Structure formats: structure tokens, C-alpha cells
Structure 1
Amino acid sequence: MFNKIFATSIATIGLIITVLMSAAQANPKALTWKVLGKPLVINSKTYVLFGSDNGQPGGTNPYEGDTSVNEYRSLLCFKKTNAPAPVGLPLGYSGFFAWSGGTVLVIPNIQGKQLTSQAVADNICNQVGQILRGTSGYRMAEFHDGIGWGFWAEAYGDINGLARCTRYWVNINDQPAATPW
């Protein structure tokens, strides 16, 4: 009798876990960031602070994702150039909103579920970088490209027009539940 009850309990727990996992997979979410503040122009180059608005309604959730992968957002692409931080760039505190040492470009209207793997996302960024900038090496921006929670980067593309009205798909390499794949 005990074995039957135990087996039934295990089966019930398994069913509950399956239902919960199916519900979570039905509307998976991924990490997004936004532009924080106004872009700055220093020596004729545009710099933008991208980052987390964690704690605000509908804001960034780096642990579980915050935006349904069924939605269309801009893909934030990054290329490390190891350029020094420009003089006059207001860097953050305690590692927040650091200089990334790189450039970004934005690809609008990417559905999150199109980003089926890191390689797919990186390839999209690299191809668009080759077309728009004539250079390879762009990949999907990552949460830790600065130090975490946000970073400054030199910007290319329609950042100013998109800045106030969009969220950007961003990877986070140590929180798999917050990636679109």
C-alpha cells in the first residue's frame, strides 16, 4: 500500500512539474535593457548609456527575463574595440554604468524567439555590422560588457530615434532563464 501511495505521489509531483514547465515555456521571457538618459556627443562621436531599469514597473529582470520572446524589440549589438573611455563621459559608481570599451549598433524589429541560440544572435549582429559598418566582430550585447547593470558605448545607427520608445534584447551569460533561447 505504501509503495502505491508513494508511486502515485511521485507521479503527481512529476505531472505538476511538467504543467508548470509547460506554462513557463508557453510564454518565455528574455532580458531587455533601455537607454538611460540622453545620448552624449563628445568630439563628434555619440555615446549612449544602455542599462537596467530594474525595480521599475515592467523593468529589467536579469534572472527570469522581463519581455516575452513573442514580442519584437531592437537587438543591441556590441563590438569590443578596447578604446579608452572618452574624457567627459560621466561614468557610474561601484562598477555600475562603466565604459564598455566598444561600439554598439541597433537592429530594430527582431522577435525574441528568432534568437534561438547565442550563435544565431551573434551571427545576426555580425552580418549587420559588416553591412552597415563594413567591419566584422559585432555580437549580441551582454549584461557584463561593462561591469554589469549597464554600460556606455559609442553608438551607431538610429539610437536617438529609438531611445525613448524601445527596449533592447541583451544576453546575460550567467542566467540562462533570462536568455531568449
Structure 2
Amino acid sequence: MFNKNLATTVATVGLMMTVSISAAQANPNAMTWTVLGSPLQLGGKTYVLFGADYSPSGITNPYVGDTSINEYRSLLCIKKNPLLPAPVGLPPSYLTPGGATAGSWSGGTVLVIPNIQGTQLTSLAVANRICNQVGQIVRGTPGYRMAEFHDGTGIYSGWSFWTEAYDYINGLAQSPPTRYWVYINDQPAANPW
């Protein structure tokens, strides 16, 4: 199990000592996403755009996290299938000002697990195991894992992706909007572990 540590040096009356604390203790926040817009019904299936609400009034912070890991949020899980084509009628992806491809097709289906405390997600392996086990119980199929910031398609995909949602999911359309634990593979400080 990978455990990131943050070393802090403390000087006291001529005594130097190094104290190690986990990054989760140093920054007890993790990144969350929300549902952007309304789900789409295409060909008898439901598609949802999950993503970062990164406008000036938004919450998502993919660099250091935005939600205390002591809080309970839904865990967003995804099962990718390279043979699952983008549905006809899905809005086109777009480039962000930073050059990322946002709003792209994920090539997957999602599973939402409500009421997961961020402190339960002690590693990516643990989060993936939770997704996989619930996927086998609820959907009768393995292969679900925690959704990732870059799960869309295209060059430098990120910030949001479309996915098939198996009709309405528990917690999908609530007011205020539900927030979902999502990890990011290149910004360790934004993850709950």
C-alpha cells in the first residue's frame, strides 16, 4: 500500500528532529466532482456529464482537494469498455483554456456508492476494491474502479466526461447537488489517501 508522507523539520532548543505526518493529515481534503447539467436520454439510455465545477463560484480543486475527508460523499466508480461507442446525439467535447479535452466520452458506465467517508479511501487499491465489490453485488459484473479526473477521451482529457448511467442512480439528481469522490493521477495532494 502506497502511503505518501510529508516530512516536517522542527527545531526546539538546539534539538533537530524530523516528524512524519501523512499528507492526508497535513491536508485533510480531497477532490470532488458533481453532475454538470441535466442527464440526457439517448436511444433509451441515460447519459450523465460528471465533472469539476471549476468556475469562480465552483467547488472542485484538483490540486489540493476541496472537501474534508471526514465528510461523507458518494464514491464515483466507472467500468470502462473500449468497445462501448459514444452515443449518437452526445454533445461534442471542447478544449478548456488550458488545452484539456473536457466533456468527452468516457467509454464507460458508472456506479455510485453513497455515504462513503473520505477517510475510508486509504489508497487507490482500497477505493477500487470497494467499487469492484459493489459492482459485482449491484450489477453482477466485476471491473468497476474509482473514477479518475482524466477518464475521458482525447488529448489531455480532463475536467469532465460523459458516461452511461443505467437510468437514475442513487444520489444522481439531488438538491443541493451531490458531490462525488474522484481521484486524480497526477496531483497526489488532491486525493484522500
Same fold by TM-score greater than 0.5: yes
**Larger CA Rg, structure 1 vs 2:** 1
Structure 1 runs of 4+ aligned residues shifted over 6 Å read 21-24
1:123 aligns with 2:129: yes
Calculate percent identity across the aligned residue pairs: 68
Structure 1 position 141, deviation (Å) = 0.2
Structure 1 position 56, deviation (Å) = 3.6
- Which AA in structure 2 matches 1:73? R
The count of aligned residue pairs is: 170
Distance in 2 separating the partners of 1:142 and 1:168: 11
Structure 1 position 161, deviation (Å) = 3.4
- Which AA in structure 2 matches 1:141? A
- Which AA in structure 1 matches 2:117? Q
- Which AA in structure 1 matches 2:151? D
The answer (yes or no) to whether the contact 2:35–2:172 under 8 Å persists in 1 is no
- Counterparts of residues 1-181 of structure 1 (less than 5 Å): 11=11, 25=25, 28-57=28-57, 59-82=59-82, 83-94=84-95, 95-146=101-152, 147-156=157-166, 157-158=169-170, 160-162=172-174, 164-181=176-193
Q: Which has the higher helix share?
A: 1
TM-score, normalised via structure 2 length: 0.79
- Which AA in structure 1 matches 2:145? R
Distance in 2 separating the partners of 1:54 and 1:160: 19
RMSD, aligned α-carbons: 2.6
Structure 1 position 57, deviation (Å) = 3.6
TM-score, normalised via structure 1 length: 0.84
The answer (yes or no) to whether the contact 1:27–1:69 under 8 Å persists in 2 is no
Distance in 2 separating the partners of 1:120 and 1:73: 16
Q: Which has the higher strand share?
A: 2
Give unpaired runs (5+ residues) of structure 1. 1-8
Structure 1 position 54, deviation (Å) = 1.3
Give unpaired runs (5+ residues) of structure 2. 1-8, 96-100
Distance in 2 separating the partners of 1:76 and 1:160: 10
Q: Could you give the per-residue CA deviations for residues 154-177 of structure 1, whole angstroms, max 9, x where no partner exists?
A: 013325434752110001011110
